[in-house]
A and B are shown apart, each in its own frame.
Chain A
Amino acid sequence: DSGVTQTPKHLITATGQRVTLRCSPRSGDLSVYWYQQSLDQGLQFLIQYYNGEERAKGNILERFSAQQFPDLHSELNLSSLELGDSALYFCASSVEGRGRDEQYFGPGTRLTVT
């Protein structure tokens, strides 16, 4: 158990809908990251927050947005969902958010868009 929690574990929804994925970091960690893993793309970095502020952005679609709240939990919002958004979404956390930090991953949310 990494100490990072993600909810829900599974999500099935229809195209065009909007969903919110939630992540609680390990106690004491200030930085949160979101990654997407689809069958054909592997693990892709989406976005990073540190203490509520966005710090790095990957190839995150404009239909996706995220935020980190004052209690440090984070939410990833996916809207106008398409079939290709079906994937595993992982959240990770680390103490400082820099390259010398190890990241600890949650168990993931499996999103299926039908």
Chain B
Amino acid sequence: DAKTTQPTSMDCAEGRAANLPCNHSTISGNEYVYWYRQIHSQGPQYIIHGLKNNETNEMASLIITEDRKSSTLILPHATLRDTAVYYCIVRVTDSWGKLQFGAGTQVVVTP
């Protein structure tokens, strides 16, 4: 699976959009981009995933660049409960699917 690069930490003001970048310049055509988050010592939580097109669900939006070498997770209106470590993970679509977690981005939402 391709490796990803994320900033170590980010601060965000409550109520504002949080834009979390991820670089995956070695991604292959058959690899999805997944985002998970982990709120302090809880089980990781699935957020969203995409292959080529932008995706949106009730939690977030995922914007993937046309060359697929980077993506941005957007939390449209950050709340204090969004404070967590966010992981960007690239996974091959058809292989048996372990998740390879990196260090992620520690996001702190402040009032």
Chain A residues at the B interface, C-beta cutoff of 8 Å? 2, 4, 31, 33, 35, 42-45, 48, 50, 55-56, 58, 88, 90, 92, 94, 97-108, 110
Dominant secondary structure of chain B at its interface with chain A: loop
Residue ID in chain A nearest B94 by CB atoms: A98
In the complex where A42-B101, A45-B100 touch, is A99 in contact with B43 (Cβ < 8 A)? no
CB distance from A94 to the nearest CB of B (A): 7
Count B-side interface residues using an 8 Å CB cutoff: 24
Distance, CA A50 to CA B97, complexed state (A):
10
CB distance from A43 to the nearest CB of B (A): 4
Would you call A101 and B43 a contact (CB within 8 A)?
A: no
Of the listed stretches B44-52, B61-69, B75-83, chain A binds: B44-52
Distance, CA A44 to CA B100, complexed state (A):
7
Residue ID in chain A nearest B104 by CB atoms: A42
Distance, CA A60 to CA B96, complexed state (A):
16
Contacts of B91 in A (CB 8 A): 99-100
Contacts of A90 in B (CB 8 A): 43-44
Distance, CA A31 to CA B95, complexed state (A):
13
Contacts of A92 in B (CB 8 A): 43-44, 99
In the complex where A45-B98, A48-B98, A108-B41 touch, is A99 in contact with B92 (Cβ < 8 A)? yes
